[in-house]
Homo-oligomer: A and B are copies of this chain.
Amino acid sequence: MKDFWIWVPTKIVFGRNCLDELADSLKKWGGKDGQEPRVLLVTGGGSIRKMGLWDKVTKIMDDAGLKWFEYSGVSANPKVSHLRKGIEFARENKVNVVLAVGGGSVIDEAKGIAVGYSYDGDIWDLSTELNSKGAAVDTPVLPVLTVLTLAATGTEMATGCNWTNDTVTPAIKRGLHGPEVRPKVTFENPEYTYSVSEFQTAAGSADILSHIFESYFSNVTTAYMQARVAEALMKTVIKYAPIAMREPDNYEARANLMYCASWGNNGYIVKGNQVNWSVHALEHELTSYNDTTHGEGLAIITPRWMEWVIRDETKLYRFVDLGQNVFGLSKEGKSDLEFAKETIQAVKDFFWKDLKLKTRIRDLGIEHDKLAMFTEQVCKKLGYLAGCYKPLTKEAIEEIYEASY
């Protein structure tokens, strides 16, 4: 096990009545040092209004006499142009606590506003190459609270956030992270995800699974406990994602997916281990290019990345674990390589049959000639990918994109 420190102080309030604690939490975090709480409510499009959650949250704040200011219109894969205006809006209204109500994009932009509020320069200058280790933010950050409406990114319990710079061509996806960026309180009511579409449920589940893969495929074989916990989380996704797609108001399925998303990306299975992020590095180019839903891109690239990895016979061990411990396959009479291929087939079946996600980049409306540009962009990140499960080369990147096309 590698040396590490872990500190995950996000309070999760979970269940049907979780918002009973919302007003007190806003008063606590906004009212530090005797200030009057001034809440920045960050929202996306209209979905939280349709389900009545906007009414509920604003009524709670009004009933508690809280001053609040809404900044809405966060898009999927949030854009830095919108984030910049949000920072201005927050400053104009002198807010002291940020409440994100939505999915990963809304929360990430809320985090960006919380960081940018006290930062003199442009937020994009703080946004470093995604997942680079040196990107920690140490400027003051407004406290962020979240009401989650999508089981996917895990940002509701994580230190990171990212957005796309839509003012440059090609657009670039970058982010930042830091211990104070992690939300202070996250409210999780599985019922708030009942209205998530079958496709978004599937894509979110692919995202959760991919986060787990990224630390599960690790060279640190001595982080045994972390690997077994990762398998526990993967089993949870694989069991409940298809149920939630079929029965959108199945509380048990939505609850397990929601809680699993939070623990899949909060550092727990990563610390003491080695993060990989290879597949994320490849996928982020698709999302940056045409707003491909992140989870769908991951479901396309992951199996092709795996097929590239298993050509290295020293990297088969995790595929053996995955097949046996997660998919429950029998290895009897099979070589490691044969079994690894069977495991990858199970991953494909899950992503493409059970989750019904697309299988090829061409189906995302991306032209073939863009692959070379994506490859160039990923090559710029090779530095921070150096320690991953099987370090990528330019040839490998080309090949994986080609196989995925």
Contact = CB atoms under 8 A, between A and B. Distances in A.
A17 B18 CA distance: 40
Contact of A259 (B190, B232, B236, B272): B272
Contact of A255 (B11, B222, B232): B222
A252 B224 contact: yes
A4 B18 CA distance: 8
5 contacts: A1-B190, A1-B256, A6-B14, A7-B11, A222-B255
A229 interface: yes
Nearest to A224: B256
B225 A232 contact: yes
A260 B225 contact: yes
Interface string A1-43: 1111111111111111110010000000000000000000000
A4 B14 contact: yes
A18 B1 contact: no
Given A9-B9, A14-B272, 13 more contacts: A1-B15, A5-B14, A6-B14, A7-B9, A8-B9, A14-B271, A222-B251, A222-B252, A224-B236, A224-B252, A225-B259, A228-B236, A229-B232
Interface residues of A, number: 41
A263 B18 CA distance: 24
Interface string A240-276: 1000000000011001100110010000000110000
Contact of A225 (B10, B190, B228, B256): B256
Interface in A369-395: none
Interface string A175-201: 000000000000000100000000000
Interface string A217-240: 000001011001101110110011
A18 B3 contact: yes
Given A231-B232, A240-B224, A252-B222, A5 B11 contact: yes
Q: Which of A8, A225, A236, A256 has the most CB of B within 10 A?
A: A225
Contacts of A256: 1, 222, 224-225
A271 B11 CA distance: 12
B222 A228 contact: no
Nearest to A5: B13
A373 B9 CA distance: 43
Nearest to A2: B15
Contact of A6 (B6, B12, B224): B12
Contacts of A21: 5
Contacts of A15: 1-4
Nearest to A15: B3
B240 A233 contact: no
A16 B8 CA distance: 21
Nearest to A257: B225
A2 B18 CA distance: 12
Nearest to A12: B6
Contacts of A232: 225, 228-229, 231-232
A2 B251 CA distance: 11
Given A2-B15, A3-B17, A4-B14, A225 B236 contact: yes
A393 to B, nearest CB: 31
A150 to B, nearest CB: 17
Interface string A285-322: 00000000000000000000000000000000000000
A370 B240 CA distance: 49
Nearest first, the 3 closest Cβ-Cβ pairs linking A and B are A3-B15, A228-B232, A9-B9
A272 B256 CA distance: 10
Contact of A8 (B8, B224, B236, B271): B8
Interface string A104-128: 0000000000000000000000000
Interface string A73-106: 0000000000000000000000000000000000
A235 B3 CA distance: 22
